[in-house]
């Protein structure tokens, strides 16, 4: 019986090649592309927010597509806290050569209260994501826009402390 490989869309810390090598021993880069109709966001608790995406007309997010073996997907499920923190969806990605493929992506759930708020990431997490963007040759403007969205939300709705 042949084991089915799966394509996975990475837009946050899973862009970081070093981290993916540690997590997913057999994963291979399938290609780079653009996820259209979405935008990048940081959600979570203050200084502990993580990347996610949400649908946005006209939006786009640069992505790396990984080819995963079943054991890699299990490792990513664990890392992403699936199904509690992140859910899986199939999305269409336009690769650099114009080919459109369908691949699985993790999107942060809105079922856990401390995961639904726009917020800022820790410095180390942000650096991990930036390293992945640099390695992939992506424009960091996407990260800067996501940070600006979080900063605007924090100013409008400051965190309440008990």
Active-site residues: which are they? 80
Torsion of CA 100, 13, 41, 63, to 10 degrees: -20
pLDDT in tens, the chain (162 residues): 556 899 999 999 999 999 999 999 999 999 999 999 999 999 998 889 999 999 999 999 999 999 999 999 999 999 999 999 999 999 999 999 999 999 999 999 987 766 678 999 999 999 999 999 999 999 999 999 999 999 999 888 776 643
The CATH code of the domain that includes 150 is 3.10.490.10
162: in domain: no
Q: Residue 72 is part of which domain span?
A: 6-156
94: in domain: yes
Which of 59, 104, 61 minimizes the C-alpha distance to 80?
Answer: 104
State how many domains the chain has: 1
139: in domain: yes
pLDDT value at residue 1: 56
Q: Residue 157 annotated as binding?
A: no
pLDDT value at residue 156: 84
pTM for the whole thing?
0.92
23: in domain: yes
What is the residue-wise DSSP string for 30-84? Answer: EEEEEEEEEEEEEEEETTEEEEEEEEEEEEEEEEEEEEE-HHHHHHHHHHHTTTT
- Residue 38 near residue 55 (C-beta atoms within 8 A): yes
25: in domain: yes
119: in domain: yes
111: in domain: yes
122: in domain: yes
């Amino acid at each position: 019986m042949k084991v089915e490989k799966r394509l996975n869309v990475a837009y946050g810390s899973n862009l970081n090649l070093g981290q993916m090598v540690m997590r997913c021993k057999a994963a291979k880069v399938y290609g780079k592309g653009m996820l259209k109709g979405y935008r990048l966001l940081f959600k979570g608790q203050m200084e502990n927010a993580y990347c996610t995406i949400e649908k946005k007309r006209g939006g786009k997010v640069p992505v790396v597509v990984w080819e995963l073996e079943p054991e890699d997907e299990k490792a990513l499920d664990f890392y992403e806290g699936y199904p509690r923190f992140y859910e899986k969806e199939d999305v269409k990605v336009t690769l650099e050569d114009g080919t459109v493929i369908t691949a699985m992506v993790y999107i942060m759930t809105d079922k856990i209260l401390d995961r639904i708020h726009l917020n800022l990431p820790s410095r180390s997490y942000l650096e991990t994501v930036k390293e992945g963007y640099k390695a992939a040759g992506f424009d960091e403007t996407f990260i800067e826009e996501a940070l600006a969205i979080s900063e605007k939300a924090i100013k409008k709705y400051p965190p309440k402390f008990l």
